[in-house]
Amino acid sequence: MPLPVATLSCRAQVGLEAPLVQVEVTVTSGLPAFQLVGLPATVVRESRDRVRSALLSSDFEFPSGRIVVNLAPAEIPKEGGRFELPIALGILIASGQLRPVPAGSGPLCELYGELGLGGEIKPVRGILLAAAHASRDGHELIVPAANADEALIGAAAAVRAASHLKEVCRHLTGEQPLCLHRPMLPARPPDPHFGAALDFSDVRGQFQAKRALLIAAAGSHSLLMIGPPGCGKSMLAQRLPGLLPPLAEGEALDCAAIASVSTAGFNMSGFGRRPFRSPHHTASVASLVGGGSRARPGEISLAHHGVLFLDELPEFDREVLEALREPLEAGVVRVARAAAHADYPAEFQLIAAMNPCPCGHLGDPAGDCRCTAAQTQRYRARISGPLLDRLDMHVQVPRIEVSDFDDRTGRGEPSAVLAARVAAARSLQLARQGRCNARLTDAQVDQCCTLQQRARALLDRTMKQLRFSGRTRQRILKLARTIADLDGRETIADTHVSEAAMLRCLDRERAISSCR
């Protein structure tokens, strides 16, 4: 005689994938036992006590026989408290205490929720990712009430919310069905210029750095700013998101899905806004790139489609900085662990800042730098040549002059005006090649970066004089293409190439020092 098996559905989380898991429960006579199988993590194993208390507090009986809970497929690791609601319902159905109405030909229902000792259904992490996969398969969801708005982003029309185990039981028996969830307030469109209160006109002077950030925003280029303390490097970086266009619907969903599986979780207030991440220089490799024992996404993935700002760049561990090299080129980070492998997208825009020397006053007429040449060299050597070669621009940010505080000349253009120029330049790029200039492949560079004759001659001469590498040449071409797009030009002129080459000051310094 076959054993009575109650089967409910939930999804595990493996990187940015959410494979469907069948929660199979049997209750048989014999010595009391509660067994969980199917690669459950420690948190899942601890659910036995919470499920027991939740059932007793909800006026149900806890079966006295042998309970076996199988989380299938067995080879997928299961973690978190999301499986507790389907486990509790499976025990009730398998023991005959709950007789759900047959679903018939309706959609499969997935259940998520951590149980409190009194039967309350508490929120869990990663609901948005699970909802997106459930929507793709045409499934309905029952989720904690605190996760309902998040689930609606991934599954707009098939979410039901519950706050207590009893509510789900009454829904399954047909006694009091749960209504499809609707947000309490109408959805507010995301502000395309979130943080617009941080306006570029607040930064006095620094017109060259502002020009570099305008080019960076227009083509999604990386940028390193070098200047003394207090010259405005951080202020400039914090105002970059105000220049970037709003996220497309698919991009916003990608960013939200990454945030939902991160340690901090998803915040509804940030949906639709470009990420701006600024980790401290004591960050580890796992926190920046991703990984750890559970393979969580790192800061570079949380900055996907947004900005990653690294202040005091030489103060980061060299191992941490070297881990940025592959993601900067590939736009993806592959985390490999013994228990799991995960691929996280990482198409971020890197903006970094550093001082010119350990004390920060090298080359500053108003400063008193006492750093020796050897100290300065060791300080700058913390950033390797291969990493610098992968940065599109590195510009000097000098000390602010007294005249820059003149309201008539020191403020420059506001963010709204610059953002309109960025949007126009990006529309040209998307119409021409379907991506920003910083993401052009070598084949697309040859196709899209058409040089005028004088521009080609200037680029060849500059390559020979400054001993640029092949990678540097390609980056100069991409920069020149962005500058031409800002000017609305179809071909790249010599002025565009000249400005692009001038935006790589460290290459010029290395070329000059090697000739001495």
pLDDT digits (tens, 9 = 90+) for 120-160: 999 999 999 999 999 999 999 999 999 999 999 988 778 99
Residue 109 in tokens: 């229902």
Determine the Cα–Cα distance for residues 122 and 384; give it in Å rounded to an integer: 47
- Span 154-170, mean pLDDT? 91
Arithmetic mean of pLDDT, 86-101: 94
What CATH number was assigned to the domain covering residues 5-172?
3.30.230.10
Where are the domains positioned within the chain?
A: 5-172, 200-209+216-414, 440-516
Residue 229 has pLDDT above 70, yes or no: yes
Least Cα distance to 144 among 131, 132, 134 occurs for 131
Determine the pLDDT at residue 194.
Answer: 44
CA atoms within 13 A on the CB side of 51: 26
Mean pLDDT of the chain: 89
Q: Which DSSP state fits 113?
A: -
Q: For residue 166, which of 158, 175, 155 has the smallest C-alpha distance?
A: 175
At 494, is the pLDDT very low, low, confident or very high (cuts 50, 70, 90)?
A: very high
Most confident region among 26-30, 401-405, 411-415, 426-430 by mean pLDDT = 426-430
Q: Give dist(CA 233, CA 227) in Å, integer.
A: 7
272: left (phi over 0), alpha (psi -120 to 50) or beta: left
Say whether domain 440-516 belongs to CATH 1.10.8. yes
> In sequence order, which ranges of 173-304 are alpha helices (DSSP H)?
207-219, 233-238, 249-260, 285-289, 299-302
The CATH architecture annotation of domain 200-209+216-414 reads 3-Layer(aba) Sandwich (3.40)
* Contact between 235 and 200 (Cβ < 8 Å): no
Residues 129 and 80: beta-carbon distance below 8 Å:
no
Q: Give whole-number Cα distances, 8 to 49, 140, 148, 169, in Å.
A: 20, 12, 20, 13
| pLDDT at residue 189, as a whole number | 45
Of 362 and 119, the structure prediction assigns the larger pLDDT to: 119
Is residue 1's pLDDT more than 60? no
Name which of 137-151, 282-296, 414-428, 472-486 the model is least confident about: 282-296
